[in-house]
A and B are shown apart, each in its own frame.
Chain A
């Protein structure tokens, strides 16, 4: 079946521009997560959606970052006024509900800020 789909796969933009990254989770998965991974670093948690509950935004690094999840399915991560330090791979994952359920990752969006 279809896995987690992310688009675009690569994005190059100029400093100061806004970018939108999209994640289409596995159908039926109630939990959706955004992470970012810088070169040689671990995965940094950004935000977590679980069903209709208020999202856990505790990992967002600044107010330039925001995310939405519409209809409990597709999610968009928006970065406003991008900075060079925002360059990273942005990974989305989804999982069924249940603490023993593993997260299934998309291939990520590689974001480069010039």
Chain B
């Protein structure tokens, strides 16, 4: 079956670094996405990985290991506005077909002063 696991909640301090992990078991794999969702708002795209390794984008980085079915999102220099839910999503369609995304339940991050 399809399964995506993330921690339910995390707490970190302003200015610190936090790593949010995601493990997945899906029938296929054609990319992994991270989204940020503030309470009451729509998810917004953060990062995309399809090959193994680290993708860096400003304060946010995302890592993928396909052999381990594992990804993490790294947030540096945390700011209060980073308090949000972070959603891991896998595109489980192999080949050229686009397919839909399977989402994890999200990790609610609270940044404290």
Contacts and interface: CB of A to CB of B under 8 A. Distances in A.
Interface of A: 4, 31, 33, 35, 40-45, 48, 50, 56, 59, 91, 95, 97-108
Interface residues of B, number: 26
Given A42-B106, A108-B42, A99 B31 contact: yes
Given A42-B106, A105-B44, A106-B42, A97 B100 contact: no
Contacts of A31: 98
The B contact surface, by secondary structure, is loop
A99 B98 CA distance: 5
A50 B93 CA distance: 14
Nearest to A33: B100
Contact of A48 (B45, B100, B104): B100
Contacts of B104: 42
Contacts of B91: 99
A42 to B, nearest CB: 4
Contacts of B41: 107
Interface string B83-113: 0000101010100111111111110000000
